[in-house]
Structure 1
Amino acid sequence: MKKRMATMILCAAMTASILAGCGTGKESNAPGGTAGGTATGTSQDTAAAAQGEGKDGYTIAVLAWSQAEEFGVDIISGAEKKAAELGNVTVVKPDPAGDMQKEIAILEDLIQQGVDAICVAPVDANAIVPYIDKVREAGIVLVDYDIDTEAQCDAKVLSDNAAGGAMAADYLVQEMGTEGKVLILTEVPGVTTAEERIAGFKDRMAEIAPNVEMVEQLSNGTRDTHRATTENMLQAHPDITGIFCFMGDNSLGAYTACKTNNRQDVLIAGYDATPEQLDIMKNDGPDCNLICSVALYPKKIGYVALETAYNILEGEEINDVVWTELGLLTAKDADSFEAE
């Protein structure tokens, strides 16, 4: 692999030699402190039986958190790429659109359809637990990806969100210094990915820049909501010097708010390293106030999630978490950043 100009973290190899899955109790290295309970084997046993019967094709559903976000679109793209390589997998991709009730209805519908496996990013990690139980009781393989849940699953495909938050804090302090006030845009409770990233960011900031004041503000909804939230906070706290955003859309909303209000002096540490963020950095140049964005490589996540589901259907035993890599896109190195 060419050396990335961005910082890279490889939490674990994403190969078939890894025995990966949900809930071994390896709490110490799971981003949220727990990887859930031990898998019961219900759907893995069913998958092994189906494989033994010589089933020659599978239907795998892939549920992104929302396909209105670039991240969700890339997840689906990565899963479809793997399915095309395999040749005997049909991908279905109903869109929960960030709505937990819609995701529940989709899961219940997929049970009725009798799909072979489901890869899901929970809209609400707590509310989804009984519905994941229903999926597995129906003998359907369930792979949880991106957002951790306490539910018993057949496998989990996760990135180290706390490490990503810490990475953003390191770079923000490097560029901003150890004094100032940082706005943290937050999410509603239950989105563990956001909670872990924010916790990682705050913990590292407290460690390396204890004099920086941190203020938090809920910002849930569309990119325009994030823009409006940021504008309101800039007015309420004109001494804000930095912003931490835990996902792509609030990173872009915060950037627009700063640009509209002529506050390019406010440095933004973003997340997801979406193509739009990369284009902004390239267009604005090294002095862009969207100084960095943690890269999750969502196409790879979708690819690995579907691959993991397929391997279980083919009889592979899964007992641990599959960790995916992180990187850091920076405005200074945007021209050389490798997005794939």
Structure 2
Amino acid sequence: MNIRIALTATVAAAALTGAATAAEHGAMKIGITQNNVGVDSYQTTYEQAFIEAANANDSVETVVLDAGGDVARQIAQVEDLIQQEVDAIIIWPTNGEAVIPAVRKASQAGIPVIVTNSNIAEEGFDFVASFSGPDNITQGSRSAEIMCDRFKALGIENEAQIVQISGQPGYTTAIERAKGFEDRLPEVCPNVTLLETQPGDWNREKSQQTMEAFLVKYDDIDGVYAGDDNMGVGALNAAKAAGRAGDITFVGATNFAVGYEAMEAGDYWGSIYQSPVDDAQAALQTAIDVLNGEEVPFLNYFDTPKITQDNMSEFTKPVF
């Protein structure tokens, strides 16, 4: 980790040498290319919060773009931002590996790159000034702990069988949340069996279909882990339609309003609390700090605590 931080500091310093400190030349021009704003309410709320935070800062000018989930479009957007000579680029990657050449090109042009929400693959770290977002592996790990604690309370920790609905294939957040869960679960509940994992692509309807297939295939499912509550509620809806929801513990990795409501109703057990407003504001502030020459950690995480039916009164209902 110390090596990565050192490399990042070098990259950031080199970028600032080429572009100079934006504050010296008036407003900082910061471009952002997002993953897919229309795919879920988290990303929609993130964009709104980002624009509001930028508009509230007189020293910032932004170019806000959306890749619509298309890797080729995102690569073209990064190249366009380079041509516009923005001072910094924030990227919410559509694919953690495919965007690396574009990120490298921006870095080589002297433009610091901040990755937001979902990190790129490790081989691209040398071209990134900082990552701003949640620790997805920790989120997956905490979700495993939530699941295990629930099984222990129910007395089924030595026999429970579960399925997993992961996010978009190739997407770093999906990969890391799955890894965090899969690595941690055997440590806390070694006798729980993970029957199968299938992607839900962050989509409620697809996740419902995925769960329908699981219910046909497996007579005994004690738990469902989903990469976010949007997918988790899709799975819940399938189980309700099949009359099997009461026998299954549902756990997500990002608490959405629909998940919170399902928890209130007693149908959904727990998740991880993550604010898209905090996410957006942290990304913008990280870019500003880099451009101002401040020391910024490579992995700039914000906290995402556990939320379950037992402690949900301590948290406000998500707005997304």
> Normalising to structure 1: TM-score of the pair?
0.81
- 1:298 maps to which of 276, 283, 297: 276
Report how far residue 339 of structure 1 moved.
5.4
* SS at structure 2 position matched to 1:262: coil
**Distance (whole Å) between structure 1 residues aligned to residue 25 and residue 317 of structure 2:** 36
Q: 1:96-154, CA deviations, whole angstroms, 9 ceiling, x for partnerless residues?
A: 22221221122122222222222112111111111101112223221012222222211
* More moved, 235-244 vs 83-92: 83-92
**Distance (whole Å) between structure 1 residues aligned to residue 143 and residue 283 of structure 2:** 25
Q: Structure 1 residues 294, 313: closer, same or farther in 2, change over 3 A?
A: same
Q: Structure 1 residues 86, 47: closer, same or farther in 2, change over 3 A?
A: farther
Q: Give 1:236's aligned residue.
A: 217
- 1:48 maps to which of 20, 39, 43: 20
Report how far residue 263 of structure 1 moved.
2.0
Q: Give 1:320's aligned residue.
A: 298
**Distance (whole Å) between structure 2 residues aligned to residue 207 and residue 64 of structure 1:** 35
| Structure 2: tracts of 5 or more residues without a match | none
User: Within 5 Å, which residues of 2 pair with 1:256-295?
Assistant: 256-264=237-245, 265-282=247-264, 284=265, 287-288=266-267, 290-295=268-273
* SS at structure 1 position matched to 2:95: coil
Residue 332 of structure 1 pairs with residue 310 of structure 2: yes
**Distance (whole Å) between structure 2 residues aligned to residue 241 and residue 312 of structure 1:** 47
Residue 133 of structure 1 pairs with residue 83 of structure 2: no
- 1:119 maps to which of 90, 111, 121: 90
User: Within 5 Å, which residues of 2 pair with 1:1-340?
Assistant: 24-25=2-3, 39-40=10-11, 41-51=13-23, 54-68=24-38, 69-149=40-120, 150=122, 151=124, 152-177=127-152, 178=157, 179-187=159-167, 189-221=169-201, 222-264=203-245, 265-282=247-264, 284=265, 287-288=266-267, 290-338=268-316
**Distance (whole Å) between structure 2 residues aligned to residue 163 and residue 50 of structure 1:** 34
Query: Higher RCO, 1 or 2 (CA under 8 Å, sep at least 6)?
Result: 1
Report how far residue 313 of structure 1 moved.
1.8
**Distance (whole Å) between structure 2 residues aligned to residue 43 and residue 305 of structure 1:** 18
Report how far residue 50 of structure 1 moved.
3.7
**Distance (whole Å) between structure 1 residues aligned to residue 204 and residue 61 of structure 2:** 32
**Distance (whole Å) between structure 1 residues aligned to residue 229 and residue 33 of structure 2:** 18
Deviating above 6 A after TM superposition, structure 1's stretches of 4 or more consecutive aligned residues are 35-38
**Distance (whole Å) between structure 1 residues aligned to residue 183 and residue 255 of structure 2:** 22
Paired-residue identity, % = 26
Contact 1:25 1:38 in 2 (8 A): no
**Distance (whole Å) between structure 2 residues aligned to residue 46 and residue 216 of structure 1:** 49
Report how far residue 319 of structure 1 moved.
5.0
Q: Give 1:20's aligned residue.
A: none
> Normalising to structure 2: TM-score of the pair?
0.86
